[in-house]
Amino acid sequence: TQLLEQSPQFLSIQEGENLTVYCNSSSVFSSLQWYRQEPGEGPVLLVTVVTGGEVKKLKRLTFQFGDARKDSSLHITAAQPGDTGLYLCAGVQYSSASKIIFGSGTRLSIRP
């Protein structure tokens, strides 16, 4: 069974602090997506990384795809209460049986 492990599962930090969320697998992915889900809503795509070693920035969020395309990280600088939510990574494989696999998520809470 292929798994995407996210860590930490829960994170509660003070506003203004930095944090990193990790997404790891033993499988290689064609691309990796990061979503944020708020209570009562469905996940919303933040970014897709495709190339090994790729780094993408979205304001205070920095996403990196591992060189071997097996892992990814999300770094948030100067966290704000509006960053609170469930962060999900999802790995996509394009092959004879293409599929998408989601990580179990990181629940982030930013205290004012």
Partner 1 sequence: ETGVTQTPRHLVMGMTNKKSLKCEQHLGHNAMYWYKQSAKKPLELMFVYNFKEQTENNSVPSRFSPECPNSSHLFLHLHTLQPEDSALYLCASSQDGWETQYFGPGTRLLVL
The correct pick among 7, 8, 18, 44 for binding partner 1 (CB under 8 A) is: 44
Q: How far apart are CA 103 and CA 25, in angstroms?
A: 9
User: Is-contact 74 20, C-beta < 8 A?
Assistant: yes
Write out the binding residues for partner 1, residues 4-33 only, by CB under 8 A. 4, 31, 33
Chain CA centroid to CA 45, Å: 10
User: Is residue 74 within the footprint of partner 1 (CB under 8 A)?
Assistant: no
Reduced to 3 states (helix: H, G, I; strand: E, B; else coil), residue 72 is: strand
Q: How many residues of this chain bind partner 1 (CB under 8 A)?
A: 22
Shortest Cβ 67–partner 1 spacing (Å): 22
Write out the binding residues for partner 1, residues 78-107 only, by CB under 8 A. 88, 90, 92, 94, 98-105
Q: How far apart are CA 75 and CA 98, in angstroms?
A: 28
State which amino acid sits at residue 37. Answer: Q
Give me the residues that bind partner 1 (CB under 8 A), please: 4, 31, 33, 40-45, 48, 88, 90, 92, 94, 98-105
